[in-house]
Structure 1
Amino acid sequence: MISSINPTIKAFAILIPGILLSFTFDVFTPLVYFLFILIVTFTMSDIPFIKWLKIFSPFLLVALSFAWMTILYTNQTFSYGEVLFTLFGIEITRGSMITGISLALRSLCFVCLSILFALTTNSTKFMLSLMQQCKVSPKITYGILAGYRFLPMFRDELQILRQAHRIRGFGRTKGIKGKWQQFRRYSIPLLANGIRKAERVAIAMESKGFTGDTDRTYYHEMNVSPKDWIFFFLIVGAFFIILAFSYYLGYLNIFGKQF
């Protein structure tokens, strides 16, 4: 299962194709890789389809809007080929259509890769992996973890503040001045509570001997196993195989240059 893959290896496996995809401007490469990511997502992970669909659907609308605006306002470098039709006085060429669809498919690939990583990765294990495999400073990683843990607490405290204000007769205000006053009523108590919690966390970490030194032992050891490298070469290797097929079939287009 993908959830058991080392988070750092998984991050690089997803990051490399994501960056390289941004250089391709044909339809074939991102389309085939998008289908490949879908197959990997639903065969090698336990992500519920309904949950995945709820996260993916808004980005689908965003990708379609990207495609539409790119088709209408494509740079001259990519507006090659014959004119397919005219819309509102704007000539839609074959090149602009391909570029717009390619941009939408690349965006969907980025979204699918991001969802795959986010829903199959434990945040704590990811930070531990960054410390142990990438030698990131514990001060940075533990600081990120502490801030991440505070987010649900801030949400709960904000809800409590809102309820307390309603009991005292402070409902939702209208206008810019009212919104600003409401923001002050919420932000000052939240900021004060955040400072108190940060001080408590700092004292607790210092009392347990945390100095931020990279030369330290870990209770949870994050190791890199052969299955991690198999996953890495599967995700990255599949991209280069698709890229080779695209070149062989004559579809590969990099920055408007056909290969």
Structure 2
Amino acid sequence: MSAAVTDPWARTDSGSVRTLEGINPLAKLAAPLPAMILLVFVRDLATPLAFIAVAYVVVLLGARLTARVALLLFVALPAAALVIGASMSLWTDPARVGGAVLTHVGSWTLTSGALAVGSATGLRLAAIVALTLIAGLTTTGPDLVRASVQQLRVPYRVGYTALAAFRFVPRFGHELDVIRQAHRVRGSHGGRGPFAAIARWWGYLVPLLAGAIRHAERVALSMDARAFGAHPDRTERHLVPWRRRDTVFVVVFWLVSGAILIALFPWTV
């Protein structure tokens, strides 16, 4: 009896759909995009912090807070910002930024100006990443492809080829798990150590590639059977419409972003 294989990209019509999951993927990309572009050119600390706060509020209110998401938001992203900020502080030439001397080790000097520049860089990158999480944590690849085909008029030959590629990824993971289990059943674990690991992965590679080729052939035959590419347009099974709430989300986010930039105006000399 074979176990049922679930499709991780399939839609689930459950009642626990959060706010952001009901927003069009293109709206979730368009809303933070101007802020992400302008953040490249800011140099202060307050503006990135404000956008990080906005992104966190939107994600926490509109996305599912799983353990992995919490780890990303509250551990990985702050740690990355801290490491980048510290690294940039060490690499910044204190002669160019000035400031009070904070510490001095040999010929190396850390000034308050260098620390401010490094911290601003780390926060700026963290803010950009946090804004991308608005769409990244609540959007699936297939929905983004469907929205691009339906709203941006991306040719469906390109879009649904990308959709088929998205569906290859979980299938590869499942087939790799099956191959590993088959190797364990046969006792061909290969021992321990790095060379044994390389040998094991080499043993996984050939059947995985063979399965990928077979699956690609089946997908190609399925597309041919459905006359894929024979007509200029295709009917859609899953619609991803642009609703009024998508427009409201984009406009409100733009207004909030504009208010932050006007209030802080990070380009003041």
Among 102, 111, 126, the alignment partner of 2:129 is 111
TM-score of the superposed pair, with normalisation by structure 2:
0.82
- The worse-fitting range, judged by mean Cα deviation, of 82-91 and 21-30 is 82-91
User: In the alignment, does 2:68 pair up with 1:47?
Assistant: no
Alpha-carbon contact 1:173-1:182 (below 8 Å) kept: no
Task: Give the TM-score of the pair, scaled to structure 1.
Answer: 0.85
**69-78 or 100-109: bigger deviation:** 69-78
Residue correspondence of structure 1 range 48-127 to structure 2 within 5 A: 48=65, 50-56=67-73, 57-75=75-93, 79-87=97-105, 89-127=107-145
Question: How far apart, in 2, do the equivalents of 1:10 and 1:86 lie?
Answer: 46
- Relative distance call for 1:75 and 1:216 in structure 2 (3 A) is farther
Gaps of 5+ in 1: none
Q: 1:217-232, aligned counterparts within 5 Å?
A: 217-232=235-250
- Cα displacement string for residues 40-59 of structure 1 (whole angstroms, at most 9, x for unaligned residues): 2223x142264421222223
Which structure's relative contact order is higher, taking Cα pairs within 8 Å and 6+ residues apart? 1
| 2:7 matched residue in structure 1 | none
CA drift at 1:151: 1.7
Q: Could you say which residue in structure 2 is the equivalent of 1:15? A: 33
**Structure 1 segment 125-204 matched on structure 2, within 5 A:** 125-173=143-191, 178-204=196-222
1:16 positional shift? 2.8
CA deviation after TM superposition for structure 1 residue 180, in Å: 4.1
Is the contact made by 1:59 and 1:108 (CA closer than 8 Å) also made in structure 2?
Answer: yes
Query: What is the aligned-residue RMSD (CA, Å)?
Result: 2.4
The answer on whether the counterparts of 1:78 and 1:99 sit within 8 Å (CA) in structure 2 is no
Q: Deviations over 1:71-109 (max 9, x none)?
A: 111156862333233256422222211122112222322
- Percent identity, aligned pairs only? 30
- Structure 2, unaligned stretches of length 5 or more? 1-18
Distance 2:134 2:211 in 1: 35
- Gap change, CA 1:76 and 1:97, over 3 Å in 2: closer
